Amino acid sequence: MNRTTPSSRYAGLSRRELAAVVPELLLIGQLIDRSGMAWCISAFGREEMARIAIEEWAASSPIYTRRMQRALGYAPEVPGKGDVPTIFKGLQLDIGAPPQFMDFRYTVHDRWHGEFHLDHCGALMDVEPMGDDYVRSMCHDIEDPTFDATAVATNPKAQVRPIHRPPRRPSDRHPHCAWTVTIDESHPDVQGIPLLADNERSRAANLELAPIDPADDGRADYSGPLLSDLDFAAFSRSALVRIADEVCLQMHLLDRAFALAVAERAADAGELLRIRRKQLVGIAGIAAERLARALDLPADANGAARLLAVHPVFNPAAYVDADITTAPEGAGIALRPSPAHDDGAWISLCGPGWTTALRAVVRTVDPRLDVEVTGTDEEWRLAVVHREQPVPEPDEVAVVRFSSGTGFTFEPRRPLPITPV
């Protein structure tokens, strides 16, 4: 029986398993919006949904981009003076640009000039059937400020500008979009939005995680040349553990910014809670489904407990304080107050009074699995239990299935160094 909390819950996975889980986590982060924005459209309309999306990404991506730069050793030597390859490396490890689903292809002219285009944009495939107004909201209204907001983490003089972008004319235009990235001292500094300062004070933004062990077998950092694709199997086990934890923090920072943006528009605390819980249920169920499949987890209570241990709701371990037990006599969780509760993160929405998201997770292993939760809002125990009848899939999960990302399959890629042309 294992009742101890490791420095990272991902430390229990093998290097091969981690190499499969990391791209899954990046894609799961992208799908958070497929879950949350549906309810924002319903509550506030398309235009306000677009403003919420701008604010959530602009108030989170600069924070987590810098965190990943520091973790993997490719941060600019002088803060704020990074180059185009550094910006592109950040995109490869960003939940806003999960590999292959958002298939960024990069060109570097020199340190200060580059381009990228998308051979496949999964987000466009999701939105295009909804019509040109929704495409413009995503590819114009949202992308213009959020691309610059992401680049500002590396250099406030960076500008990301379109060569062409959707709506596609003709309708099968390829690549889906293309952009230039230019860093020039004559450019005005990009400024962070007010919500960014709020998010920078969060526990997630300032959380310390265990450093990568440079002696571990495999790649310990992302110094050196920009690569066309990241081969996660080339990273060391220690590096993959850190990347997985950082990607989960990206999700929490994005969700916190989402909550801040929705709070400014919600009629009251009740509406804010309702929208946040609907977003959580949808992404919790889809994330569980993809992770369970990637790890080939057994269809029993122990498999459900192992799934909970790697689910973003419960990670990183330094952020969400819980003991997760896998044992024949009882699989479950003992949760305690943690930094995640201080931030009002996903786990703070769950507890004895509301178990829908937790049920959505365990039922993906076996539809007859359920949870029983006892205790208080911040300190509770969860037991995985078996029901005679299947637990139905929540409607919120069905909403996220609208995205092609829910069934997306990664393929092997050969990474090649990108040099100036």
Q: For 148-160, write each residue's pLDDT tens digit.
A: 888 889 999 999 9
pLDDT level of residue 328 (50, 70, 90 thresholds): low
340 and 252 within one domain: no
Owner of token pair 């943690």: 338
What is the value of pTM for the model shown?
0.96
- Give domain status of residue 396, yes or no: yes
What are the residues whose beta carbons fall under 8 Å from the beta carbon of 377, sequence distance 6 or more?
Answer: 348, 351, 352, 353
pLDDT of residue 5: 39
Q: Give start and end residues of each alpha helix (H) in 103-142.
A: 122-127, 132-136
Same domain, yes or no, for 317 and 219?
A: no
251 with 276, same domain: the answer is: no
> Based on the domain organization, do 284 and 225 belong to the same domain?
no
Count the domains in the chain. Answer: 2
pLDDT of residue 152: 85
**pLDDT tens sequence across 25-79:** 999 999 999 999 999 999 999 999 999 999 999 999 999 999 999 999 999 999 9
Do 25 and 99 belong to one domain?
Answer: yes
Q: Which of 113, 99, 122, 96 is nearest to 177 (CA)?
A: 122
Q: Has residue 194 been placed in a domain?
A: yes
Residues 93, 224 within the same domain: yes
Please indicate, yes or no, whether residues 98 and 210 belong to a single structural domain of this protein. yes
Token pair 């998201």 in the structure block, residue? 357
Looking at the structure, do residues 235 and 322 belong to the same domain, yes or no? no
Last residue of a domain, one of 195, 223, 257: 257
What is the model's pLDDT at position 329?
67
> Is residue 229 a part of any domain in this protein?
yes
Whether residue 3 is contained in a domain is answered as no
* pLDDT tens digit sequence for 101-145: 999 999 999 999 999 999 999 999 999 999 999 999 999 999 999
Q: For residue 235, tell me if it sits in a domain.
A: yes
By residue range, what is the domain housing residue 377? 270-405
CB-neighbour burial class of residue 333 (10 A; exposed 0-12, middle 13-18, buried 19+): buried
Q: Same domain, yes or no, for 276 and 356?
A: yes
Q: Are residues 295 and 148 in the same domain?
A: no
Q: Of 210, 230, 257, which one is at a domain's C-terminal end?
A: 257
Instruction: Determine the angle formed by the axes of helices 84-92 and 61-71, rounding to 10 degrees.
Output: 100
Are residues 176 and 59 part of one domain?
yes
Compute the distance between CA of residue 307 and CA of residue 176 in angstroms, rounded to an integer: 35
Domain shared by 242 and 286, yes or no = no
Q: Which of 257, 281, 302 is the last residue of a domain?
A: 257
Query: Is 86 a domain residue?
Result: yes
Looking at the DSSP bridge assignments, the partners of residue 417 are 227
Q: Tell me if 1 is assigned to some domain.
A: no
Q: Per residue in 252-288, pLDDT tens?
A: 999 999 999 999 999 999 999 999 999 999 999 999 9
**Inside any domain, residue 328:** yes
